[in-house]
Each structure stands twice: as C-alpha cells, then as structure tokens.
C-alpha cells in the first residue's frame, strides 16, 4: 500500500485530483465513485478542473434501499450535487434504491460492473473499517448485495436525516470482491476518528472484522490520510 500523508483534506483533495488526472491521462475509462464527506475535496478539485468525462463511465459503490435520486439523503442525489451536475459522464450508474427486488437489483449491478471493469475506484473508510457498505463480517468473496446496516453506521449517517429513525436500515453495496477487481484503488481518510480504522486496515491482520484490511491483498492501493488519521500508524 502506498501511503501519502497530507496536512489536511484540502491538500488531500489536490492529491486525489492528481491521481484521478493521471488515471485519465493513462486511458482510464471507468471510475468507481464513493459518497460521504471524505471525497468531497477531491470531487471539488476534479469538477473545477478541465478534465473531461464526456466519454467515460462512473459506477457508484452503494445506495440506500428505499431512496431514489430525488431524495436529498440518497447517494444518487449527493453525486448529482457534488459531481455529475458539474462534470457529466457519458454514463453514470448508481444502485437503484427504489428497486426493492434485491435479487434483480444486485444481479443487474454485477452485470454493469462486469461489462465496465473499473480502472480507478475511490473509497472512504468507515470508523469500523467498512468500505462501501461492507460492514465487519462481510464475506470477502461478496459481490453486489443487500446489506443490513450496523448501529454504528446508522448513528454516523444520522447527521444527514431529521432523526435517527429516518435513516434507512438497508443498502445495496458493491461487495468486497467487486471492489478488489478494480485496477487501482484510492482510499482517503481524514480526522482522528479514522485513526484506529487506518491502523487496523494497514497494519492489522487481514480479517472480516476489518473489511478494509482485505485491501492489503490488492496490488495497487494508494491511501491519502491527514496527520490525524495517520496518528496511530506504528
């Protein structure tokens, strides 16, 4: 794993942008995208740049079950706001939270990923070591699946809803195996609350207790962390 320590998420966003640009320059056609607060500075730099995605494809990691693109808390809405409205792709895929037929939706999404192999996947990191919505205990062989969210994730996401009861309890997420198929992975993490997860992901055993630890098995991972998130690395 290639670890880049930055001062803050603004510098991290600049580095994230550079990695994205390099991928574009090297011919990358398919970008795996994440939501959450972490990648926003990278997306801001990308959308303010002259990078052109009009012949490229994006595939998002996950979406809440029950929310569609018009719901302000949906991940599709987030992507429209922070990325797609400013820099459109030729084609953007986000799991369809309004498709309540989980078998149908997860198979549909796996086919999209198989037909569009991801060149660069951007990830954030949960405080419990999750990537996408792959919570501790997720099978490393998992492909797209319906997930029951953990209490810690519901709590962390409650800030986006009027109250905790409104946070959806299920999500569709690419699996760990889907993520591992990406050619290059860029994971960003900022803030002291991510320090434990970063330490366990990078230096701990590879275990389903820390889903991100499987990234140790990937040949091309770059991690951008600020000093607070890096503070527990030995």
Residue ranges that bind ligand F6R, judged by CB under 6 A: 34-38, 61-62, 75, 124-126, 130-132
Catalytic member of 76, 130, 145, 184: 130
Residue 175 · residue 199 · CB < 8 Å: no
- Which contiguous run of DSSP H or E holds residue 92? strand 91-93
Tokens of 74: 């949906």
Active site residue 62: yes
Minimum separation from the CB atom of position 27 to ligand F6R (A):
25
Nearest CB to ligand F6R, comparing residues 131 and 180: 131
Chain residue whose CB lies nearest ligand F6R = 124
Minimum separation from the CB atom of position 38 to ligand F6R (A):
3
Nearest CB to ligand F6R, comparing residues 75 and 83: 75
Minimum separation from the CB atom of position 50 to ligand F6R (A):
26
> What CA–CA distance (Å, rounded) separates 72 from 77?
6
Minimum separation from the CB atom of position 207 to ligand F6R (A):
18
Strand partners, 33: 60
Nearest CB to ligand F6R, comparing residues 75 and 89: 75
3-state helix, strand, coil in the chain (%, to 5): 35, 20, 45
Minimum separation from the CB atom of position 104 to ligand F6R (A):
22
Nearest CB to ligand F6R, comparing residues 35 and 182: 35
Catalytic member of 60, 128, 134, 157: 128
Tokens of 65: 């079950």
Q: DSSP H helical segments within 35-189, as ranges?
A: 40-47, 75-79, 102-115, 151-157, 176-180
Active site residue 135: yes
> What CA–CA distance (Å, rounded) separates 228 from 16?
18
Catalytic member of 9, 44, 60, 62: 62
Nearest CB to ligand F6R, comparing residues 38 and 178: 38
> What CA–CA distance (Å, rounded) separates 26 from 107?
30
The secondary structure of residue 150, as a DSSP letter, is: P
Q: Which residues are catalytic?
A: 62, 128, 130, 135
């Amino acid at each position: 794993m290639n670890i880049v320590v930055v001062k803050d998420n603004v510098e991290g966003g600049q580095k994230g942008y550079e990695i994205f640009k390099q991928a574009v320059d090297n011919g990358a056609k398919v970008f795996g995208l994440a939501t959450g607060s972490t990648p926003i500075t990278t997306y801001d730099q990308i959308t303010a740049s002259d990078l052109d995605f009009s012949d490229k494809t994006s595939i998002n990691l996950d979406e809440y079950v029950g929310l569609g693109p018009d719901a302000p808390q949906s991940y599709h809405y987030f992507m429209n706001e922070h990325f797609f409205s400013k820099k459109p792709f030729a084609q953007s895929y986000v799991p369809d939270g309004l498709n309540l037929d989980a078998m149908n939706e997860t198979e549909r999404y796996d086919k999209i990923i198989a037909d569009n192999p991801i060149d660069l996947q951007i990830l954030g990191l949960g405080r419990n070591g999750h990537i996408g919505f792959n919570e501790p205990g997720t099978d490393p062989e998992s492909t797209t699946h319906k997930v029951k969210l953990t209490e810690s994730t519901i709590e962390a996401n409650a800030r986006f809803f009027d109250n905790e009861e409104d946070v959806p309890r299920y999500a569709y997420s690419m699996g760990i195996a889907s993520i591992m198929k990406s050619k290059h992975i860029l994971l960003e993490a900022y803030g002291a609350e991510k320090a434990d997860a970063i330490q366990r992901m990078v230096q701990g055993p590879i275990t389903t207790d820390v889903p991100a630890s499987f990234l140790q098995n990937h040949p091309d991972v770059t991690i951008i962390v600020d000093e607070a998130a890096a503070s527990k690395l030995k």
